[in-house]
Amino acid sequence: MTPTLQLFLVISAALFSIGLVAALSRRHAIFILIGIELMLAAATLNFVAFWRFGPQPQPPTGVMVAIFSIAIAAAEAAVGLALVIAVYRHYRTTNVDQLDQLKG
Amino acid sequence: MTPWIATYLWLLPAVPLAVSLMILNLGPSRRAEAGTLAILGQIAALALAVTAFLPTLQAPGWRAFQNFTWFTFGGNALRIGWVLDPLGAAMLVMITLVGLCIFIFSVGYMADDRNFSRFFAYLSFFSAAMLGLVIANSLLLLFVCWELVGLASYLLIGFWIHKPSAAAAAKKAFITTRIGDLGLLVGIFWLYSGSGSLLFYDEGRGCLESAALLSLGTSATFIALLIFCGAAGKSGQFPLHVWLPDAMEGPTPVSALIHAATMVAAGVFLVARVYPLFSLGAVNGVTPSLTVVVWIGVTTALMAALIALAQADIKRILAYSTVSQLGLMMVSLGVGGVAAGVMHLLAHGFFKALLFLGAGSVIHGCHHDQDIRNMGGLRRLMPVTFLTYAVGMMSLSGVPLLFSGGWTKEEILHATAAWPPSHVPHYLLLAGVVLTALYMTRQIIYVFFGNRRAASEHARESPAVMTLPLIVLAVCTIALSVVLTPAWPWLHDYLIKETPHLDIARLRLVQPMLLLSLGLVTAGIGLGVLLYHKIGEIDPLARAQPGLFRFLENKMWLDELYARTVVAWSRIAACLSDWMDRHFWDGLVRGLGHVGQLFGIFTASFDEHGINTGVDEATTGTRGLGRIMSDLHSGQIQTYLGAIAIGMLALLVLAWLI
């Protein structure tokens, strides 16, 4: 079976949906972060797919965006994890349902 | 070369003014200091006056003036200044010398008064204003001082303010002279618009100098008459003379200084000062304005002399005599005898002050009883007062040769005899001479001769502080005649700006007039002695002519006439204005107020119900919305994320649908 754009888009959409569900349903902060990473990965996959099957498939235009996105995701994970640790130290919990003090 | 005194002539009024302010600052308890200060101030003023008098002797018609700008409005500069000339210098010496005598006399006369210091402050203030009036080289400055002497007169007439009659007299004097001053003020405006200057002398540009006079033309007559209104008010000329006899309510030194010697003479002085205005365009020495002056003067002189005949108050007799003599001076000015009028003014200043101070001494001796019918026989009790009073009386009556009043009165008779239009004023004045001698004889017989009566029972001579000024003034009255005789008419020539010279031969020329006036005065005194040598309960004149006597005793009913006419009319006008004010204007204003109030109520309710409610609703709504919004903010980040997802989905669906 020849890989087609639609296949990648379906995989990407599934990946994004899984990430969204994880981010919305899990209570643990780290799992929400994982969900977000999944959604980012889905977006990166979209980029690469559109590049590979687009009018100019030569390297390195699309790959550059993917690599950049991954780097940002790494940075974001680092900040996110640091925040989770700080929140845990302060509230003794990582359950986001209890972290509701930033309300109006 | 101008002597320094001409430049610093302002010192003359400034010194008494400063003294007056100092006395007021001292307070009422420092009596001795107040009296000393006032007398020292007057001595300084006298010294300055003599210093100012000396340079005027240098040459006939010598004159110096000093002008400066008072203030500028628009393009016009209002200039004032002072002038030193024979007329002013002679007045200065007379005023300060008489003033000094009266100041010293006052120390004795007012010794028991509670407001001794205030009295001297007022006297000094008056002295300052009067000296300012004399040195003024501008009609405006003269008018300012004119009003200031009026104020001083008002304050001093009403000095014993606890007496209702004194308060009323002060008010009457102030208001009556104001009527004349209104005319004077209008005359000043007219003169300013006509000639463009109010300075008397200004190197050819002054309003009394030929250029300005020519530009005035015929309006000079009206200006002169308006100025004469002011002079008539101040100098007690008919019909504005009514205030002067009432002014005798003031302390006697005040009557002597202000209402006999100086202030009332200011009117005569004013006419003499602006004489070129009166005599402009004279044919044969006669102008319409001068004719008016003559007839007013004659009426005043005769009327006042007649009224004086029937008065019982020692000071009132002298007051009417003053009115009469001022009328005489006016006649003299009117017929062209300016020098004669001013000479009589100067001589009158001395002997009338003497008479008033003598009367003051008598009143002091009689424990402040002023009714001559209660006096009598004071000749032996008060010899000094009697002798000096007799000198004054003879000078006033016009006894020739020895007394200054005789010479000056003769000059006036000469001047009137030469008046071309009519000889009537001359004959009326001759009758006036007889009347003057008659009423003075009557007074002196009542007061000094005969038996002692109620008030003179315990009289005694006044202290030296009061008799000394009397002696000085009596000596002055006699000594002044040296410069008045026709053989050496020094004062006459000094005033008309000629070189005086001695000429015995001229004595013969005036002999007929001398004999005539001697005869008339003798007749007057003789008639007086004949009538009054045996005085009973009733006045001899009242017995012979009761109706006439009552007419004269009540001052020809003039006060009553004024009360019925002028005063009544103003009262009606006042009532009418009051009514208008109360009912018409008040109602109008109140109605307008109600309209405003109604409008206020309307706007208040609109505020309350319209605007306030709107604002309230808006705030409540905003607050409710805010509450709903804030409830949405739950703090649950997953809810937020879900909302974002659903929103994105909705947008996608929307994009796909479109």
pLDDT at B652 over 80: yes
- Taking 60 as the threshold, does the pLDDT of residue A104 lie above it? no
The answer to whether B635 contacts A100, with C-beta atoms less than 8 Å apart, is yes
Q: How far apart are CA A25 and CA A31, in angstroms?
A: 9
Ordered alpha helix ranges (H), B496-545: 506-509, 511-532, 540-544
- Based on its alpha-carbon atoms, the radius of gyration of chain B, rounded to whole angstroms, reads 37
For residue B599, what pLDDT band results from cuts at 50, 70 and 90? Answer: very high
3-state secondary structure of B78: strand
Cβ contact (<8 Å) for A104 and B633?
yes
Residue B390 near residue B307, CB atoms below 8 Å: no
Cβ-Cβ contacts under 8 Å, B635 against chain A: 99-103
Which residues are within 8 A (CB) of A35 and not within 5 positions of it... i.e. 6 or more apart? Answer: A18, A19, A20, A21, A22, A23, A24, A26
Confidence at residue B554, expressed as pLDDT on a 0 to 100 scale = 80
Cα-to-chain-centroid distance, residue B469: 24
First to last CA, chain B: 116
Contact (CB, 8 A) for B282 and B270: no
pLDDT of B80: 87
Confidence band, pLDDT 50/70/90 cuts, at residue B506 = low
Query: Which chain B residues touch A100 with a CB distance below 8 Å?
Result: 634-636
Q: What is the pLDDT of residue B47?
A: 92
What does the pLDDT read at residue B255? Answer: 87
| CB-nearest partner of A100 from B634, B642, B645 | B634
Mean pLDDT, range B626-649, rounded to an integer: 88
- Confidence class of residue B535 from pLDDT cuts 50, 70 and 90? low
Could you give the 3-state DSSP secondary structure of residue B535? coil
**B645 and A28 in contact (C-beta within 8 Å)?**
no
**Both tokens of residue B109?**
């006369």
**Residue B510's pLDDT band (boundaries 50, 70, 90)?**
low
List pLDDT tens digits, range B304-347: 998 888 888 888 899 999 999 999 999 998 888 888 888 899 88
Residue from B396, B123, B91, B76 nearest B250 by CA: B123
Whether B645 sits inside 8 A of A99 (CB atoms) is no
Please state the ipTM of this predicted complex: 0.83
Please measure the distance between the N-terminal and C-terminal CA atoms of chain A and give it in whole angstroms: 54
Residue B509 has pLDDT above 70, yes or no: no
pLDDT at B15 over 60: yes
How sure is the predictor about B398, in pLDDT bands with cuts at 50, 70 and 90? confident
Q: What pLDDT score does B368 carry?
A: 79
In angstroms, the separation between the Cα of residue A26 and the nearest Cα of chain B is 9
Q: Rounded to an integer, what distance in angstroms lies between the CA atom of residue A96 and that of residue B639?
A: 11
Contact by Cβ (8 Å): B316, B353: no
The answer to whether residue A16 scores a pLDDT higher than 90 is yes
**pLDDT value at residue B1:** 54
Contacts of B636 in chain A (CB under 8 A): 96-97, 100
Q: Which residue of B lies nearest to A104 if distances are taken between CA atoms?
A: B630
Contact B411, B513 (CB under 8 A): no
Residues 6 or more apart from B328 whose CB is under 8 A from it? Answer: B297, B301, B344, B409, B412, B429, B432
Least trusted range by pLDDT, from B196-200, B255-259, B311-315, B453-457: B453-457
**pLDDT recorded at residue B505:** 67
d(CA B302, CA B552): 12
Give the percent of chain B with pLDDT over 70: 97
B391 to each of B29, B101, B400, B402, B405, how far by Cα in Å? 38, 16, 12, 9, 10
- Asked if residue B508 has pLDDT above 70, the reply is no
Q: Where is pLDDT greater, at B511 or B443?
A: B443
Residue B504 has a pLDDT of 67
pLDDT of residue B551: 80
Nearest CA in chain B to A21: B642
- Nearest residue to B426 (alpha-carbon basis) of B243, B265, B302, B578: B302
The chain B residues in contact with chain A (CB within 8 A) are: 629-638, 641-642, 645
DSSP state of B481: G
- Distance, in angstroms, between B607 CA and closest chain A CA? 35
When mean pLDDT is compared across B152-166, B167-181, B456-470, B536-550, the lowest value belongs to: B536-550
- Specify the residue for token string 């402050």: B121
Is it the case that residue B117 has pLDDT exceeding 90?
no
Report d(CA B627, CA B646) in Å as an integer: 23
Give me the pLDDT at residue B410, please.
84
Best B625, B627, B638, B649 member to test A by mutation, with max A CBs in 10 Å, is: B638
| Side-chain half-sphere exposure of B441, counting CA atoms within 13 A | 24
pLDDT value for A34: 92
Cis status of the peptide bond prior to A60, with omega within 30 of 0: yes
Tell me the pairing of strands B76-84 and B64-73. Answer: antiparallel
What DSSP element (H or E) covers B69? strand B64-73
Bridge partners of residue B82, in order along the sequence: B66, B136
Distances (CA, A) of A44 to A51, B218, B260: 11, 118, 126
Q: A65 with A59: CB under 8 angstroms?
A: no
- Dump pLDDT digits (tens) for A27-78: 888 999 999 999 999 999 998 888 888 887 777 777 888 899 999 999 999 9
Q: Do B633 and A103 touch (CB under 8 A)?
A: yes
Average pLDDT over residues B126-155: 91
- Helix, strand, coil % over all residues of chain B, rounded to 5: 75, 5, 20
Which residue's entry shows tokens 């003169």? B191
Rounded distance, CA B658 to CA B652, Å? 10
Most confident of A9-18, B163-172, B277-286: A9-18
Q: Report CB contact under 8 Å: A97, B636.
A: yes
Mean pLDDT within B160-164? 87
Contact B642 A24 (CB under 8 A): yes
Tell me how far apart the alpha carbons of residues B358 and B443 are, in angstroms, rounded to a whole number: 12
| Rounded mean pLDDT, B202-223 | 81
% helix, strand, coil for chain A, step of 5: 75, 0, 25
Q: CA-CA distance, B45 to B99, in Å (whole number)?
A: 10
pLDDT given at position B630: 85
Q: What is the distance between the alpha carbons of residues B252 and B360, in angstroms, rounded to a whole number? A: 5
Choose the mutation target among B628, B631, B632, B641 for the interface with A, i.e. most A CBs under 10 Å: B641
Sign of the alpha-carbon dihedral angle for B489, B492, B494, B497: negative
The model's pLDDT over B354-364, given as tens digits with 9 standing for 90+, comes to: 999 999 888 88
In terms of residues, how long is chain B? Answer: 658
Highest mean pLDDT among A58-67, B106-115, B228-237, B369-378: B228-237
Query: Are residues A99 and B630, on separate chains, in Cβ contact within 8 Å?
Result: no
Across A3-24, average pLDDT: 91
> What is the pTM (predicted TM-score) of this model?
0.75
